[in-house]
Structure 1
Amino acid sequence: MEWRTFYAPAKVNLCLHVEARRADGYHELCMIMQKVSLADTLDICVEEGHGIELICGQVPLAPGEENIAVRAARLLLAAQNLTRKVTIRLTKKIPIAAGLGGGSSDAATVLLALNDWLPHPVSKEQLAELALKLGADVPFFLQNDTVWARGIGERFSVVHVDADYCLLLVNPGVPVATAAVYGGLTPEDFSTCAVVDRIAGLEALCGYLHNDLERVALQVQPVIAAVKNVVTAHGAQGVLMSGSGATVFGLFAAESDAVRAAESIRQEHDWWCEVVYVA
């Protein structure tokens, strides 16, 4: 029995513009997505037999609901026309339903791990198709770079961010349902952004910070506004809600300033805080 260890990084949306609602219910997006150093750990074992088992006491599931990492393993095995027993031991570090893409990253990591491990790997294009079947954010986690994501989040182009910074993530401990946030959008919330291939400097990057989901998310969880104000007050050069929330991130040029801010916020509020770096 062989176990291998893999890491599934979180992401932030440095900008998120909702351009339009599509006839199929999805939305056209224009956003910058970036991986950060915070990561879940997946220990995976593949052996002869059948069945997929997830070991994780940190992710509550409704009756009949299946974890997205298990669905990813099932899809990949079917694509390779294989039967194997797969055991996934998942240790969560990324907050759940927090706008950081934890579940999507877990699923993408399973796809990448098994595709490399098993004897009949599918192409990158096929892997991307499988990822999109699992969720709109999953294809991003197959990418190696900071990217512009367009369409529903499945079309990518690299953006070079020439800036030195770290990020302070702050989550107030309240979940936000992504579907509820998108469902509350109106055409007045929609916007777009010019896609560039390079952003030079932290000040320029801060100029891109924008999230069309914030209005609805703040209605669902008003505490997000308080988090943004607190992170700003502790010296962040730019502050934004990531994804559909409720996590807020602040950009800091100096790691020491971010660490001090995290320590102060932990003392002042019962909020989860983590200083992270571009992955």
Structure 2
Amino acid sequence: MITFPNAKINIGLHITEKRPDGFHNLESCFYPVGWSDVLEVIPAHEFSFSSSGIDIPGDPAKNLCVKAYELLKNDFALPPLAMHLLKIVPIGAGMGGGSADAAFTLMLLNQVYNLQLPTETLENYARKLGSDCAFFIQNKPVYCYEKGDQFADISLSLKGKYIVLVYPNLHISTAEAYAGVRPQAPSVNLREALQRPLSEWRHCVQNDFEKGLFQKYPILPELKTLMYNQGAEYASMTGSGSTIYGIFEKEVNFQNILPQYTVWKGELTS
């Protein structure tokens, strides 16, 4: 069986405080986009995990897809299977690609083995794998808070708009991103700001990681400016990674403008 773990963007991101457990509290709007990996599982005599596409650093046995399988196997008598991940969404790009892979593994196993786990239970399993993994269980626009793993409904739809995402072949680790940000109470109420017209977001919807990372990597503000020059209604860096996105009223072509970078574009459907 095959599934397609999709990426997400952050629309606004405030780092509000350092937690006693070493993590940070934040607030953001998580929004799904169509840039996707491909995950397949088939019955096998023994468990195996393999990947192709973008090279995934680290020990394959510690991949989040494997951890998701092991997490469920601890509680259910899952038979062995062969799992293959075609990695397409860039790594360290702020789009939650690895988190999506983990969440979609949980959902796929739930379906394949008819575990009948409800949404809330799947989200709780996902929270054990990573702070934003739980988002991908429902995979819809939400306002998120605390570690990014608690959600509240938000009245926001960009359905019919077009998005362009540019990954400038720059891997930014979470630790590097947090080193350049100072937690503080936001000066703007994000949920209220997102109810304003899209054209006004550039003045009030900000990603706190931009300040430090834009100084360190000049290509990032250059790409954001390019988005606006090409007609974007709103542009931003997403998450703590290096991907810059623009939201447009009409479809635009960036392939010939930035041939040296990884570019994805598509229509927003949520």
TM-score normalised by L of structure 2: 0.89
Gaps of 5+ in 1: none
Which residue, out of 10, 13, 36, partners 2:7?
A: 10
Aligned counterpart, 2:268? 278
Which residue, out of 120, 123, 134, partners 1:125?
A: 120
The answer to whether the 8 A contact 1:9-1:105 is kept is yes
Which residue, out of 250, 255, 258, partners 1:266?
A: 258
The answer to whether the 8 A contact 2:188-2:204 is kept is no
Q: Structure 2 matches for 1:32-47, cutoff 5 A?
A: 32-47=29-44
Which residue, out of 219, 226, 238, partners 1:223?
A: 219
Q: Does 1:176 align with 2:166?
A: no
The answer to whether the 8 A contact 2:4-2:36 is kept is yes
1:195 Cα offset (Å): 2.6
Gaps of 5+ in 2: none
| 219-228 vs 15-24, greater mean Cα deviation | 219-228
Summarize the Cα distance change of 1:191–1:199 in structure 2 as closer, same or farther, 3 Å threshold: closer
Counterpart residue identity of residue 51, structure 1: F
Counterpart residue identity of residue 123, structure 2: A
Q: Does 1:165 align with 2:161?
A: yes
**CA-atom RMSD in angstroms:** 2.4
Summarize the Cα distance change of 1:197–1:228 in structure 2 as closer, same or farther, 3 Å threshold: closer
Aligned counterpart, 2:148? 153
- Equivalent residue pairs, number: 268
1:183 Cα offset (Å): 3.2
Q: Does 1:91 align with 2:86?
A: yes
Summarize the Cα distance change of 1:179–1:192 in structure 2 as closer, same or farther, 3 Å threshold: farther
Counterpart residue identity of residue 7, structure 1: F
1:199 Cα offset (Å): 3.1
Question: Percent sequence identity over matched residues?
Answer: 28
The answer to whether the 8 A contact 2:28-2:190 is kept is no
1:266 Cα offset (Å): 2.4
The answer to whether the 8 A contact 1:175-1:246 is kept is yes
Q: Structure 2 matches for 1:251-262, cutoff 5 A?
A: 251-255=247-251, 258-259=252-253, 262=254
1:77 Cα offset (Å): 1.8
Partners of 1:78 and 1:160 in 2: how far apart?
38
Q: Does 1:241 align with 2:237?
A: yes
TM-score normalised by L of structure 1: 0.86
1:174 Cα offset (Å): 0.9
Aligned counterpart, 1:203? 199
DSSP 3-state at the match of 2:123: helix
Partners of 2:92 and 2:155 in 1: how far apart?
28
Q: Does 1:68 align with 2:64?
A: yes
The answer to whether the 8 A contact 1:232-1:250 is kept is yes
DSSP 3-state at the match of 1:160: coil
DSSP 3-state at the match of 1:136: coil
Summarize the Cα distance change of 1:54–1:22 in structure 2 as closer, same or farther, 3 Å threshold: same
Summarize the Cα distance change of 1:108–1:34 in structure 2 as closer, same or farther, 3 Å threshold: same
